[in-house]
Structure 1
Amino acid sequence: MKVLIIAPSWVGDMVMSQTLLKQLKSKYGDETVIDVLVNSWAKDVVKRMPEVNQVHCNPFAHGELGLLKRFQLGRQLASFAYDQAYVLPNSLKSALIPFFARISERIGFIGEMRYGLLNTAYKLDKTKLPLMIDRFCALANNGQKPVQIDYPNFTADLNNQANVLKSLALGLEKPVICLCPAAEYGPAKRWPTEHFASLADLLQTAGYQVWVMGSAKDADISAKIMEEAKLKANLHDLCGKTNLVDVIDLLAAAKVVVSNDSGLMHVACAVNVPVIAIYGSSSPGFTPPLSDKAQIIKLDLECSPCFERTCKFNHYNCLQEITPSQIFDAIVLPNS
C-alpha cells in the first residue's frame, strides 16, 4: 500500500495529523509506504514522524490557486503510483493535486465543491466527530471514529539540541520554563503579554530560567514581554532565532511549557513534556492538548468559547482574568 497525505497548513493541525499516519500503519501494516505533501517550512518537522517515508514540498503560497502548477505537480507525483490519497484540508485547491496525479482512491470530507475530485468522500458529522483527531482518523475508518487513537509523538534530536543551546549561549543549569505567547489565529487566543511578563518574573524569582519561544512573526509579542518584565537576567527571547525543528528540540528540554492554544502547544505535547494550555476564545473540546501531562486552564465565561479572532466585547476577560499567579501555581505546586 502506497499512500499520499495532503497535509494541513497549520502547525498544530499538522502535528495532529500524525494520528492518521499511526492509524494507517495499524490498518495496513508497518510495510505501508506513507509520503506527505507539506508546505516547505514544515518539511523537516514531518521528517520527525517515524511513519513518514518521503516528504514532497508544496510550493504554493497561502490562497494561491496556480492551476497549471498544480497540474504539473500532480503529473510528477503520478510516477509514484500511489494507491490512496488522504486530503486533510477542506479546500478545493487541496484536492486538485491527487486528482491530477490520477491516484485511484482520493479520500476526504465533502468540502468546497470537491465532488469528482474526491471519489471516497464523507459527510462530516461534527457531533459524532467533535475533535480534529477524530476527523483525521475517521478518514481511514470508513468515516467513523476509531476505537483507539494514538497521540502524536516526536523524538527530540539531542545532538541538535546541544548544538542549538551552544549557538544561543544557553545552558540547562537552571530548570527551563518555555513560554509560547503567540497564536496565529488572533488576539482572542493570546494570554496578555503583561501576564506572561509577570509570570516570567515569578518564575525567575523561584529559580527558573525562562525561554520565550516563537517565530520571527512573533517578535513583536516577545519584545513586549521583554519590555514589561522587571527581571531579565534569566529571561531569554528566542523568537525568530530558531527554526521549527530547533524549537522542537528546545521544547523537549523544558520542565514545563506554558502555551496558548497554538501550534507550539501541540508540538510541546508531542515531545512529551508537561504543558499548561491556556484557552480563551477556542475550546479544548475541538483541539485539546494531546498529552496526559497537560493541564488545561480556562474560565468558561458565559461568552466563551466564541471562536472569534478578536473579542466582540473588547474586554478579553476569558484571558485577562486568568492570573499569572494561577499559572505559576499550576507549574510549581505539582513539583513541590
Structure 2
Amino acid sequence: MKLEFYQAEIGQAPQELHQTIPNHLRQRGAIIRSVNWLGDAVMTLPAIYKIKQSLPPNAPFIILCKKNLASFWQSFDWVTQVIAIDHKHVKRRETELIRKAKPGFAVIFPNSFGSAMDLFLKGIPLRIGRGGRARSLMLNRRLPGFYRSPGEDTNHQLKEYLELAYISGGQGWNDHFEPAKPQINSEKLAELGYQAEANTWLNIAPGAAFGPAKQWPVSHYAEIANWWIAQGGKVAILGAPGEETVGKEVHDLSPQAINLVGKTSIPELMHILSGSKFCVVNDSGAMHLAASVRAQGVAIFGSTDPFATGPLGGRWKIVWTKPECSPCLKKICPLTENQYHCLSSASPEMIINELQSLD
C-alpha cells in the first residue's frame, strides 16, 4: 500500500468540546506536561502551539518535560521556560520552580497516572487532561480516556491532542505551528563530516526506539545509501543514543556514508534534517522530527498505522505493504515464519521509485 503524498486526516473540529479559560488564569500563563517520547512530542506541537496562541502576549508558557527532551522544547522561541524532570517524576527542585512560576492552568498531555501526579498539589488552580487510569480526581477539567485499537484508526493521533487544546482554550483545528529555531554548533558538525550543501544529502534513520517491528532491514538501508552515493550524493546515517549498533551495521555496508548516530543533539539533528534533499526513515522520532522541519522523503511503515501516526509537515510518500497482520502495534513480531514480513516486503526498489517521484 502506498499513500500518494501523505496528508494527515484529523477529522472535523468538535465545537461542543471548546471551552475557555478564565481571564485571570490566562494572565498567569500555562504549564504543559509534555509527553515523554520525541516522536509523540512532535505530534503534540500543533495542539500545544494553539494553547500558547490563546494566551495574552506576555503570559508565561512553560513546558515540563523529561530531561532528554529539554533541548527540543528549548528550540521553540514561543516557549518561555523549560523545566526538565531529572528523575522519573517531579521532585523538590521541579516543584519549587513550578510553585515559583505560579501558572494559572496546566494541560497534561500524557495519559499516565504519574504525569497527572507531577502537577497535582503544586498550587495550580486548573488542571486539564484525560481521565482514566485512576487519575480523574487529580484533574478538574477532563476528557474521557483515549485508547487505540489496532487497525481501527480513522484519524491521525493529532486529533486526540487537538481535543485537549480545544478544552484548554485553544483555537483552530489544523497541524500548523511556528517552527523551531535550533541552536547548533557548526564547527562540531564539520568535524563530524557534515556541512550543509543544497540538494546533496540523503539522510537515513534506520533505528526506532519502539522496537524491531518498526525497523526496515539494515541491508535495505545500505542499498539505498549506496544508490544515492553512486548518483553523486552524500548520505548521513542519523539516530539517537542507543541506536549506535544499527547505525554501525548500515555504515559497515555503506562505508562512504557518514555515521552520526548518537553523536548529535536534538537541535543538531533538526538542523541536519532541515538540510536534506530527501530522508528515508522508519515510523520513528526521526520521521516526526524531519516532518517538523518541513523535510521531504519516504517513510516506511510495518507494524504501525500511518493513518494514526504519519508525518505532519513536508512532502512525504508512505510505503506500507500492509499484509493481513498489519497493523498489529506490537514491538516484536509474533510470527514464527516470515517474521517482519510487513517491513522486508518493502523493497529498496520501491523506495527508490518513490524518491524519484518526489524529485
Decide whether the 8 Å contact of 2:207 with 2:215 is kept in 1: yes
Decide whether the 8 Å contact of 2:154 with 2:308 is kept in 1: no
- Alignment of 1:209 onto 2:234: yes
Q: CA RMSD in A?
A: 2.4
Match of residue 127 from structure 2: 106
| Distance in 1 between residues matched to 2:68 and 2:306, nearest whole Å | 26
Which segments of 5 or more consecutive residues in structure 1 lack a partner in the other structure?
none
Summarize the Cα distance change of 1:152–1:270 in structure 2 as closer, same or farther, 3 Å threshold. farther
Summarize the Cα distance change of 1:23–1:144 in structure 2 as closer, same or farther, 3 Å threshold. closer
Decide whether the 8 Å contact of 2:292 with 2:314 is kept in 1: no
Kindly report which structure 2 residues correspond to 1:153-302, keeping only aligned pairs within 5 A, or say none: 154-157=179-182, 160=184, 162-172=186-196, 175-229=200-254, 232-233=255-256, 235-302=257-324
Structure 1's consecutive aligned runs of 4 or more residues displaced over 6 angstroms after TM superposition are 143-146
SS in 2 for 1:55: strand
| Distance in 2 between residues matched to 1:32 and 1:304, nearest whole Å | 45
Summarize the Cα distance change of 1:128–1:323 in structure 2 as closer, same or farther, 3 Å threshold. closer
Summarize the Cα distance change of 1:269–1:210 in structure 2 as closer, same or farther, 3 Å threshold. same
Which segments of 5 or more consecutive residues in structure 2 lack a partner in the other structure?
1-25
Which letter does structure 2 place at the counterpart of 1:203? W
Q: Cα distance, 1:42 vs. partner?
A: 1.5
Match of residue 83 from structure 1: 104
Comparing 135-144 with 278-287, greater Cα deviation is found at 135-144
| Distance in 2 between residues matched to 1:292 and 1:274, nearest whole Å | 5
Q: Cα distance, 1:296 vs. partner?
A: 1.1
Summarize the Cα distance change of 1:323–1:144 in structure 2 as closer, same or farther, 3 Å threshold. farther
Q: Cα distance, 1:274 vs. partner?
A: 0.5
Q: Cα distance, 1:125 vs. partner?
A: 5.7
Give the counterpart of 1:318 among 320, 329, 342: 342
Match of residue 16 from structure 2: none
Q: Cα distance, 1:73 vs. partner?
A: 3.4
Q: Deviations over 1:28-84 (max 9, x none)?
A: 3544421001112221210122321100011123xxx6xxx6466335412211111
SS in 1 for 2:318: strand
Q: Cα distance, 1:227 vs. partner?
A: 2.0
| Distance in 2 between residues matched to 1:100 and 1:128, nearest whole Å | 36
Comparing 270-279 with 117-126, greater Cα deviation is found at 117-126
Match of residue 115 from structure 1: 136
Match of residue 94 from structure 2: 73
Q: Deviations over 1:102-160 (max 9, x none)?
A: 21110100132102211112104668994322111211213899752233453455x73
Decide whether the 8 Å contact of 2:175 with 2:312 is kept in 1: no
Decide whether the 8 Å contact of 2:130 with 2:145 is kept in 1: yes
Summarize the Cα distance change of 1:74–1:156 in structure 2 as closer, same or farther, 3 Å threshold. closer
TM-score w.r.t. the length of structure 2 is: 0.83
Decide whether the 8 Å contact of 1:16 with 1:133 is kept in 2: yes
TM-score w.r.t. the length of structure 1 is: 0.89
| Distance in 1 between residues matched to 2:181 and 2:186, nearest whole Å | 11
Q: How many residue pairs end up in the alignment? A: 325
Which letter does structure 2 place at the counterpart of 1:104? P
| Distance in 2 between residues matched to 1:104 and 1:209, nearest whole Å | 53
Decide whether the 8 Å contact of 1:180 with 1:259 is kept in 2: yes
Which letter does structure 2 place at the counterpart of 1:277? A
Decide whether the 8 Å contact of 2:278 with 2:355 is kept in 1: yes
Match of residue 24 from structure 1: 51
Q: Cα distance, 1:285 vs. partner?
A: 1.8
Q: Cα distance, 1:97 vs. partner?
A: 2.4
Give the counterpart of 1:37 among 61, 64, 68: 64
Which letter does structure 2 place at the counterpart of 1:257? C
SS in 1 for 2:84: strand
Comparing 76-85 with 23-32, greater Cα deviation is found at 23-32
